[in-house]
């Protein structure tokens, strides 16, 4: 098995990288059968974006602060662990953001697409689902759309629902909503298109972020599940992502 090892910049991850390359050899990601990532969830997301066109599976080992998308760091018997690992398919979101200047930015998000106010002024956002207006004016600090894998990240911090990994739904969650007062978000079918129109954008500027890719001063953002890209993550049988998402719903 040809393994490509990539690691975050931390000292611990770099030490593990040197040890694993010495034992298993060094292959470029394009030539490898699988990419082993060493770090935290943030580095895993970076790796998914960086190597997405290679269509390689990923096996992560936690050497960072957060490790929801990672396996435990245990270098012994690595090849045997990978051979026994269970695949999990992630379906990212595609974001198309139009800025005040008229430019258009396309980006992928494996966790969530979020809109956030840039100043002290609350954001005013009109919400459309597949061209049907659902909220004429959402007054808030922001709003996000999360995948099932991302539902335990920023979405959970914003009091959004945790979604089962195979549920084929998305979470739409407001961030500090002021009006409508009783609206706490929605669970949407995965094949729906979300369009968010920023109202009064000169006075109330808003940024849009797809994972770590930020676009400032947006006037309209369209979000849909990708039909082109997927990511295949491998997890140890006792450390499956489905189980962790389920267990997170009972965490105190």
State the distance between the two ends of the chain, measured CA to CA, in whole angstroms.
41
With beta carbons less than 8 A apart as the criterion, state whether 197 and 208 touch.
no
Dist CA 56 CA 237 (whole Å): 20
- Cis peptide bond prior to 53, omega within 30° of 0: no
Dist CA 38 CA 133 (whole Å): 44
Q: What angle do CA 66, 71, 77 make, to 5 degrees?
A: 145
Cα–Cα nearest to 95, from 232, 218, 233: 218
User: Active-site residue 243, yes or no?
Assistant: no
Dist CA 200 CA 22 (whole Å): 57
| Active-site residue, selected from the candidate residues 33, 41, 141, 217 | 41
Cα–Cα nearest to 198, from 132, 121, 130: 121
Cα–Cα nearest to 41, from 64, 9, 19, 22: 64
**Strand, helix or coil for residue 180:** coil
Per DSSP bridges, beta strands 142-146 and 112-117 are antiparallel
Dist CA 251 CA 206 (whole Å): 33
Provide the annotated active-site residues.
Answer: 41
């Amino acid at each position: 098995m040809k393994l490509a090892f990539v690691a975050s910049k931390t000292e611990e991850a770099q030490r593990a990288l040197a040890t694993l390359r010495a034992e298993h050899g060094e292959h470029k990601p394009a030539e490898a059968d699988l990419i082993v990532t060493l770090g935290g969830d943030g580095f895993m997301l970076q790796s998914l974006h960086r190597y997405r066109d290679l269509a390689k599976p990923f096996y992560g080992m936690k050497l960072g602060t957060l490790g929801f998308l990672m396996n435990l760091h245990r270098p012994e018997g690595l090849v045997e662990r990978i051979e026994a690992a269970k695949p999990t398919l992630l379906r990212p979101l595609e974001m198309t953001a139009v800025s005040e200047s008229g430019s258009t930015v396309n980006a992928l998000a494996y966790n969530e697409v979020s809109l956030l106010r840039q100043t002290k002024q609350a954001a005013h956002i009109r919400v459309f689902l597949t061209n049907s207006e659902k909220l004429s004016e959402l007054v808030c600090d922001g709003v996000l759309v999360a995948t099932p894998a991302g539902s335990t990240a920023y979405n959970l911090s914003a009091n959004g629902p945790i979604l089962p990994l195979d549920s084929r739904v998305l979470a739409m969650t407001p961030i500090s909503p002021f009006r409508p007062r009783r609206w706490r978000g929605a669970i949407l079918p995965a094949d729906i298109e979300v369009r968010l129109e920023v109202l009064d954008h000169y006075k109330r500027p808003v940024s849009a972020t797809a994972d770590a890719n930020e676009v400032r001063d947006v006037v309209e953002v369209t979000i849909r599940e990708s039909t082109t890209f997927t990511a295949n993550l491998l997890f140890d049988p006792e450390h499956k992502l489905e189980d962790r998402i389920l267990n997170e719903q009972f965490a105190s």
